[in-house]
Structure 1
Amino acid sequence: MAVGNGHGPLVVGHRGNSGLAPENTAAAFAQAVAAGADMVETDVRLSADGELFLFHDGTGGRTTNVAEVFPDRADAPITSFTAAELRRLDAGSWFGAQFAGEGILFLADLPAAVGFGLGINLEIKAPHESPGVEAALAAALTAPDWIRLLRHHPVAVSSFDPAAVRAFALESPGIPVWQLVETVPDAALLSEGAARGLQGIVADHHSLDASGAEAIRAAGLGLWVYTVNEAPEMSRMLDLGVDAIITDFPGALVDLLGSTPS
């Protein structure tokens, strides 16, 4: 199970370098590269006209100027917008004036945004709001830019929705799938994990303890954790021997790993 990097757990930038740049934008992903991350994590949704784009929230109000551009649709589902409409939105100004003009990023542009130099964890976000997203994602990962990235770096797909994980795995059996959980999964899920094709579990660090970590490992599954931003909790996850730590501050985790005796 290829989940280590030789110097500790994988450092995964949550929505890029989202502690210091607007999440899921080209700027955030470029900063994650510069910070020394091994991977980035991002959220995948399907536009109203079938383009895959990277966005966390169900609506655009928190992280875009949708209320200015489309005042009558400020609270509309972000997936109700066409790709052309999404490209009109500013996804950077909310974070800081220096990021004004950062747009919503589309999946096709992500390999170049990380310079073809990092692994990528693609979370299928709220699949019930993006019917057909699993098949669309599987097809998108066969594009030349994704093939180029996959030659040298891992790509994983995850979701909180077990049905979406299974559906994607059937569409693209060559891409590893991971099950996101809020609590340590029960024995039934762990016992079925390998049969369902899971490479591992992506757990909320708040709910993970030594017994939970051991149960996941005993099931033959990898263990990633999200979203770990404080140094003491990063150290606790290191002690648990997790395979990857997803964080808003990948540079801080890189520094901690550099100062931790091997």
Structure 2
Amino acid sequence: MTTATRHWLLACGVSLMLPIGVAQAADTAGDGEPQGSTLCTKIPIPCDAVIAHRGASYQAPESTRPAYLLARDLGVDYLELDLQRTQDGVLVTVHDNSLDRNTNVAEVFPDRADAPVSSFTLDELKRLDAGSWFNAAYPDRARDSYSGLEILTLDEVIDIAEEGNNHPGLYIETKVPEQFPGIEQDLRNKLEARGWLGKAAKSRPAAEQGAVRVGDTPGRVVMQTFSKASLQALEEAMPQVPRVLLLWLGEGGIEAAPGRPQGDGESTADYYARQQVASPEAYRSWLDFAKDHGAIGVGPSAVQSEHDGAFSSQFSYMDLAEPWMVGMAHDDGMLVHLYTVDEPADFERYRQRGVDGFFTNRPEQLLEFYGLPSQDQDAILKRYGY
């Protein structure tokens, strides 16, 4: 499916309030390639969605300016981000609950290395280096210009989404929302103020023909969360905005089947890969909750076939998108957006199961898989001084 075809579906002006109805079975195009469900034609979400997980986070430090600039210019549908709130009330893009993994917080604030993001002011966060860790961890992708990168605010990510020739949407996760009471309403207020919600969306020139136009459509924002309570709060704060319930297995998620503990020498990725849901009923209970609270889809985890590398092993989890699981979600009228998948073999395997889109750290690989022209990532980064 071409970029033009995927974005033509969004140009039909479908209302966010249109009932989805019962999903049709996974369809097959004339060329024999599976196309997932037909649900994407009924709601304003791109078919075969390309969701840049924390930006193009294989090639640049996650959730930083170069990662999002690269993803935007490559032509992704959505810039994905994790949302937290600073001590002084600013919405920022940070994944982890603490800052020690991917900043120099231990050097700048040695007594607060394990402190939660919520205990820092924006000014304090802006003093941290959010890029040098990447150069140390992945020397083959290191760039001197990554040193000193800043943590971004939501406003800064919105700026990136608005400023390019492509207009991607935003796929926003409320991270550890129990630590941030009222963050859903804060998010609504910010998106309204920036003209990203409903009829109040500000008028700006549409992207040119052939460019990504998701940011110009009613599907410009998708909310995601692992938290049932936050899903309910998002429903109350922004009932017309598409919402996705993320799925996890075990504590805080779907009930897991009994199994042996992680063995000595067994990688976490291998341990996750052998986990199973307790029963179809356990899986269905989460789908029912999502549907009852107006979610347009679910976001299950994936097992990456190559998960023994230092990078890929971070993003290989349980297989919560087995064929019967995808079918169950489609039968309930919900899309399936899978996290986090980086390799063509895995794109193909899960697409054959009918998955409707992917979170990926390597959007260039997914775009190429979908038959879209490849671009020079190095040239894009150098264009912006990286």
TM-score where L is the length of structure 1: 0.91
Q: Could you say which residue in structure 2 is the equivalent of 1:182?
A: 248
2:224 equivalent to 1:168: no
> Aligned residues: percent identity?
34
Alignment equivalent of 1:154, drawn from 196, 202, 220: 220
In structure 1, stretches of 5+ residues that fail to align are none
Q: Could you say which residue in structure 2 is the equivalent of 1:36?
A: 75
In structure 2, stretches of 5+ residues that fail to align are 1-41, 136-143, 203-213, 250-276, 304-318, 373-386
Q: Partners in 1 of 2:119 and 2:108 — Cα distance?
A: 15
Q: Partners in 1 of 2:100 and 2:346 — Cα distance?
A: 31
2:133 equivalent to 1:85: no
Q: Partners in 2 of 1:90 and 1:237 — Cα distance?
A: 36
* 1:2-81 alignment, distance < 5 Å: 2=43, 5=46, 9-81=48-120
Q: What is the RMSD of the two structures over their aligned residues, measured on CA atoms?
A: 1.9
Offset, 1:150: 5.3
Q: Could you say which residue in structure 2 is the equivalent of 1:103?
A: 150
Task: Point out the structure with the larger strand share.
Answer: 1
Asked whether the 8 Å contact 1:3–1:10 carries over to 2, the reply is: no
Offset, 1:62: 1.2
Asked whether the 8 Å contact 2:54–2:361 carries over to 1, the reply is: yes
For structure 1, which segment, 87-96 or 154-163, has the greater mean C-alpha deviation from structure 2 after superposition?
87-96
The structure having more radius of gyration, on CA atoms, is: 2
2:168 equivalent to 1:144: no
Q: Partners in 2 of 1:192 and 1:92 — Cα distance?
A: 38
Q: Partners in 2 of 1:58 and 1:10 — Cα distance?
A: 27
Asked whether the 8 Å contact 1:91–1:102 carries over to 2, the reply is: yes
2:284 equivalent to 1:245: no
Asked whether the 8 Å contact 1:3–1:222 carries over to 2, the reply is: no
Alignment equivalent of 1:124, drawn from 174, 179, 182: 174
User: Deviation digits for residues 20-56 of structure 1, max 9, x if unmatched?
Assistant: 1011111110010122211121100011111110000
Offset, 1:4: 5.2
Asked whether the 8 Å contact 1:3–1:244 carries over to 2, the reply is: no
Q: Aligned with 2:365: secondary structure? A: helix
User: Deviation digits for residues 62-91 of structure 1, max 9, x if unmatched?
Assistant: 111111211211111121101111111121
User: Deviation digits for residues 160-214 of structure 1, max 9, x if unmatched?
Assistant: 0011011011011121111000257622332343331111101112321111100
